Structures are given as C-alpha cells and as structure tokens.
Amino acid sequence: MPLGVSRLDQLIGGGAPAGSVVLLAGEAGAGAREFCYTAAAMNGLADRDPAQFDRYYGALESNATLPEAVHYVSITGERSAIVDEMRLVMDDDLVAAGMDGVSVVELAEPYFRRTPVPTEWYTDGATDITDLGSRVGRDGGDRSDRSDVLESLGNYLSDHAADSLVVVDSITDLVAAADDHLDWADLTVLLRGLKRAAHRWGGVVLLLVNAEALEPTELGALKEATDGTLRFEWESGGSERARTLVVEQFRGVLSRLEDEDIVRFETEIHDGGFDISNVRKIR
C-alpha cells in the first residue's frame, strides 16, 4: 500500500506491506508530521483526482494497491486546524482535493473528559464518536475517564481499518495522559493487539509520536509493539541542519533496503509534501 511518498515507495517495492503498523517517531520539526499529512492527502488525492495525483506522485508501482479508504484519527486536534496546517506545507489544490477523500475523526471528547479543560473548548458539534467508548463498566460503575479514549480508538479501528490507510495523530497525546488517568501498560497492550489485528485487516496504520517526549524504554516498548519504525531526525553539518529519515526496522522492507546498503535518506518538504531529496548509502 503506497505511503504517498513516491520515491520512498519506489525504493521499498511500492509501499508498506499490507497489514503493517508503522511507528513514525520524530524530533520536533524533523518531518514526521509532514509525512503523515502527505500520506493522508496523497492517498486521498488518488481517489478524488487521479490526474492531479499523477502530477504530484507519478505512476504507482505495479504491485501497489491503493487503500479502499483513508482515515485520519486526531486525538486532540480538529479537522479545520489539521487542514489549515496542511495548507502551510502543501499546495492548496492538493490539500483541498486530497482531504476531500479523507475521513477525519476527532477523539477530543473522550480524551479531555474529566480533566480541568472546559467542555466548550473541545465540543462544538464536530464528529462525535463518544459512543464508541462505553461509559459504563461491566460492573455497572462509571468509566468516564481518559481510558475511554483507548476504547474509542480501538473500536474505530475495528470498524474502519480493514483495507484502509489510517493515520493516528498522535500517540504522544496518549503518552502524556498515561501519567494521569490512563495506564501506560494499557496503551502498549492496545498497540500489541493492533499489530495482531492489522495483519488480518490488510490495511496500513501509521502512528505518529514525538520521540523527544519519551523515555528510551518507552520508545523501545512502542517499537516492539509495531511492525516498523521510521525515525525523523535533524542532522547537523557545518552551519546548516538537514532533515533525515532513518528506517530503523520494518518487517518485509528493511532487508530490501539493506541489500542496497540504504537505511538513511535526506528529506525535504515542498508543495507536494514530504519527499526524499537524496538517498544515502550506509556501508
């Protein structure tokens, strides 16, 4: 399934293996979020405007299959803010047509429930999926806490992830909640279950996380619970800094890259979104 970055997709045989859960772990501003935006918008564009897709992406590899649907799951953000930020990165026409083919769901209500955040800050008639997370436990007790967001996320994925591309923005928000009303172990167990289920669903799930917000052991646990990890880093060279993409692990992909001695890419962000500007061979 194409990731939406044409040069990367070409190098890895058309895209991510169907059934993959991929962790996108990045330093602030190093390109991980832009990768998510590009993946969602470009795959949405393929469905809504094939001619424009060909202009920005080019031809699909012969063995690549487009997702049946594209879903963007936002934990704390809202669709309008996401689209506005995309427009700062990519061409307006690409964003308008691409996001027309993307379903955006917001999990702010179950996330912020029972926190000091005023209700009117996160409820405004936007997509409401609070019913996905049951508010009554099996024992009849109240379950109106932030663990509901995991249940909401899990149920949404169960209903929509099959044969689809799903972007989850972001796991960082769930990590931040883990110190309060959400158990870190519940998050990692959910991701392990997702890894198992995704193999049956046949789609691709991208999980965005800010690596700087995690302890090394926490990042390691997230890597262990997924099929692949793409690291987005800043690399200093003289007086300039460059964005780089490192393929740390990727089931069914990394061995192909290592055959060519390639695991690190120099990247750039332009009107077409996230892109690879140079392929660096590491020997």
Closest CA to 6 of 56, 46, 48, 69: 56
Q: Is the model more confident about 175 or about 199? A: 199
Quote the tokens at residue 204: 């691709």
Give the pLDDT confidence of 74-108 residue by residue, as tens digits: 999 999 999 999 999 999 999 999 999 999 999 99
Domain 6-281 = CATH 2.60.120.560: no
The whole-angstrom distance between residue 154's C-alpha and the CA centroid of its chain comes to 15
**Tell me, what's the pLDDT at 80?**
94
DSSP-based three-state secondary structure for 279:
strand
**Tell me, what's the pLDDT at 132?**
46
Give residue 251's pLDDT band: very low, low, confident or very high (50, 70, 90).
confident
Helices (H) and strands (E) in the chain, counts: 11, 9
Give the pLDDT confidence of 154-164 residue by residue, as tens digits: 999 999 999 99
**pLDDT average, residue stretch 213-235:** 91
Give the pLDDT confidence of 109-148 residue by residue, as tens digits: 888 886 788 888 887 644 444 444 433 333 333 444 555 8
C-alpha dist (Å) from residue 19 to 198, 240, 251, 252: 5, 38, 10, 11
Give the start-to-end residue ranges of the domains of the chain: 6-281
**Tell me, what's the pLDDT at 142?**
40
Cis peptide bond prior to 74, omega within 30° of 0: no
DSSP string, 225-270: TSSEEEEEEEEEETTEEEEEEEEEEETTTHHHHHHTTEEEEEEEEE
**Tell me, what's the pLDDT at 124?**
67
Give the pLDDT confidence of 13-28 residue by residue, as tens digits: 899 999 999 999 999 9
Give residue 283's pLDDT band: very low, low, confident or very high (50, 70, 90).
very low
C-alpha dist (Å) from residue 107 to 104, 126, 153: 10, 10, 8
pTM (2 decimals)? 0.88
Output phi, psi for 232, to 5 deg. Answer: -110, 115
**Tell me, what's the pLDDT at 16?**
93
Per the CB < 8 A criterion, the answer to whether 97 and 49 are in contact is yes
- Find the range with the poorest average confidence among 154-168, 171-185, 211-225: 171-185
